[in-house]
Amino acid sequence: MASCVASNGDTWEIYHGNGGWRWRRTARNNEIVGASTEAYANRNDCIANAQRHGMTCNPV
């Protein structure tokens, strides 16, 4: 799993599970406020989708 923290304090996670790559966004209060609705075969496609949904940090 790779993760990063955005300037607003939200944590973005990129992980492999449930049939492919997925992303999840967690707010400062540890509530999940966003997640991918599908699994991606390619990690870079997953990251690109997360960026379209507001991810501005670089998961490592």
**Domain annotation covers residue 43:** yes
Determine, yes or no, domain membership for 23: yes
Whether 60 maps to a domain, the answer reads no
What would the DSSP string read from start to end of 1-60? -EEEE-TTS-EEEEEEETTEEEEEEE-TTS-EEEE-SS-BSSHHHHHHHHHHTT--S---
Domain count within the chain: 1
pLDDT tens digits along 5-38: 999 999 999 999 879 999 999 999 999 999 999 9
User: Is there a domain that residue 21 lies in?
Assistant: yes
pTM exceeds 0.85, yes or no: yes
Q: Is residue 12 part of a domain?
A: yes
- Residue 58 domain-assigned (yes or no): no
Whether residue 27 is contained in a domain is answered as: yes
* Residue 35 belongs to domain spanning: 2-52
| Residue 30 within a domain | yes
Q: What is the pLDDT of residues 29-46, one digit of tens each?
A: 999 999 999 999 999 999
Q: Is the dihedral of CA 32, 33, 37, 39 positive or negative?
A: negative
Gyration radius of the chain's alpha carbons: 10
